[in-house]
Amino acid sequence: MPRRGLIVVGSVLLVLCGLDCQRAEIAQPQKGIAMPEKTIEQVQQECTDAWMAIPGVIGTAIGQREGKPCILVLTASNTVQVRRKIPSTVEGYPVVVQYTGEIRAR
């Protein structure tokens, strides 16, 4: 019985993680379940693949805004559309979309 419960909870958490990265659905943590706070690097890592699949996004990084750590989403194009698709906060961390242009080996 406990194992099945664990599987259910685990699946719900996985789904929640996936949903967090998209602006369309901002999932709320389940009440009564203790969730460890994620580091900013963990959040960046979890969201990077999904974000870099958006046309125009060329990378993500950890930066700073007003002295506080933030996740940067770097674009080479489509910056306005990218901003519409990405939430401004994920798991408490601010997310900032920043245009850099194409990056090439120099």
Partner 1 sequence: MPRRRLFQVLLATVLSICLLALSGVVSAQGNSDKAFERVKEVQERHTAKLMAQKGVVGTAVGLTENDRPAVLVLLEEAGVAAVPAELDGVPVRPLVTGKIEALGSNRTSLSKGKARPKIDPTAWFSRPVPIGVSTGNATSYSAGTIGCRVSKGGKVYALSNNHVYALENQATAGQNGDKVVQPGLYDTGGTYNSANDIGTLADFVRIEFSTAASNTVDCAIAASSTSLLGNSTPADGYGTPTSETTTAAVGMAVQKYGRTTSLTRGTITAINATINIGYSSGTARFVGQIIVQSRSPFIKAGDSGSLLVTDPGKAPVGLLFAGDSSGKYAIANPIDAVLTALGVSVDGQ
Residues near partner 1 (CB under 8 A): 41, 44, 48, 52, 58-64, 69, 72, 74, 100-106
CB of 105 to partner 1, least distance (A): 5
18 vs 59, beta carbon nearer partner 1 = 59
- Cβ distance to partner 1 smaller for residue 29 or 101: 101
CB 61, min distance to partner 1, A: 4
Q: Which residues contact 75 (CB under 8 A, 6 or more apart)?
A: 56, 57, 58, 82, 97, 98, 99, 100
Given the complex with partner 1, which of 22 and 42 has the nearer CB atom? 42
- Pairing of the two strands 68-75 and 57-65: antiparallel
Question: What does the alpha-carbon distance between residue 58 and residue 67 come to, in Å, rounded to a whole number?
Answer: 24
